[in-house]
Structure 1
């Protein structure tokens, strides 16, 4: 309907969800539930993190994922291995992809250099596994480190995973319609310098982004290793939950359909 302002939304997500990160994910989920007033966030599931934690073989963690999904948490497919083959002996990136692989992630841009066929196969396998485990359709796909190569972008149009996001936007995979714009607020734990810069950006975001229609916050298992990061996450969630409604990614699609 025209004349009605769109609600301000807060989209929160836990990345790198798998049996190998279970303890950290539990801590993050407890924090998000407390600050968001319930299970109003998404989980990004890695089917076999670095080839060491196959979800298909962990029945206990499968049951936990199903319980989370039953509670209303959206489940996204988050790559397959979360490991960049090119950066780990499987080839070499060139041009812009090489810069992204070296400076925007630590060997985890799995879908940055994949050809379309390989990317589509991993997306479809991940979708089938997540849906079998949770008993619900997967909400969408997010590439590890939010990095997509040309092959991955082409595969997205065929994979049947409705919602996609990167660092700067959320969009419909089928139509390429932008559903939300703006930077995602996230934190880094792997070095002192990256931690400091992520804390500074989060502080800036708390001041600069409240006017945005949609604010995105993404947390990772490594965040629980530093008290400063957990405090910043808590403060950021509290700040935006006061002005933005904790929402599902699907709400963006529903809102777009109503316009």
Structure 2
């Protein structure tokens, strides 16, 4: 069994350029180079249009040329849909208004996926690595749209899969942190600490960081310890490795 570590930086875009730089530097140091993915948002909350930031285009192309995998991570990231049932619970408890693809129709989800794919691929000059919905939340419309999206990979909280075939390529929870309340900071640090000891037997370990993590020194320390613990036992790989091994 080939063990691998998959690292990712979420919410990449001009709105969080300083925070992304900090996280990219930290992960590069721990992992021995730019051995991580970036999840790119086209226009975060409608306040940071990537299409208009030519300087950030250059940064993305440089990272991509260095080997960083680029995923499309929604268009706005913000969720403005009205939900009911299970979707309402997810929207209220699993994210703070960030589940953009939880309540979209198939047509709207497909359009945003296509537009995001075209934008990112035009900037980096190569195919996007895949699609990962904001907050890892997919409604029925998004799930249906993904199957015909042309993306090679998709990811949620518990798996990585091929959208066209539905074939699951990796299973297991994503280790991540929450910064918006003290309670969530403490609980995410606790979970990360347990994962550092409990997930070493897993074939694929996924660890994701967000710009907000940089605002809490205790989270940065936990991120350092978590990546360090796994990197000592397994190499940092690429999501594309999952396709090669399939």
TM-score by length of 2: 0.99
Q: Distance between the aligned counterparts of 2:209 and 2:122, measured in 1? A: 25
The reply to whether residue 52 of structure 1 matches residue 54 of structure 2 is no
For 1:15-26, list aligned pairs within 5 A: 15-26=10-21
- In structure 1, what is the equivalent of residue 243 of structure 2? 253
Partner of 1:126: 116
- Of 17, 29, 34, the match for 1:39: 34
RMSD: 0.5
Correspondences of 1:1-259 after superposition (within 5 Å): 6-86=1-81, 92-256=82-246
Instruction: Give the unaligned 5+ runs of structure 2.
Output: none
Q: Deviations over 1:36-93 (max 9, x none)?
A: 111110000000000010000000000000000000000000000000012xxxxx20
Q: Deviations over 1:196-225 (max 9, x none)?
A: 000000000001001100000000000000
How many Å apart are 1:35 and its aligned residue? 0.6
CA displacement at 1:27 relative to structure 2: 0.3
Give the total of aligned pairs: 246
* Matches of 1:132 and 1:122, distance apart in 2: 15
Secondary structure of 1:53's counterpart equals: coil
Q: Which structure 1 residue ranges, 4+ long, deviate > 6 Å from structure 2?
A: none
- SS in structure 2 at match of 1:108: coil
In the TM superposition, residue 126 of structure 1 has moved relative to its aligned partner by 0.1
Q: Secondary structure at the match of 1:100?
A: helix
Inter-partner Cα distance in structure 2 for 1:145 and 1:212 = 23
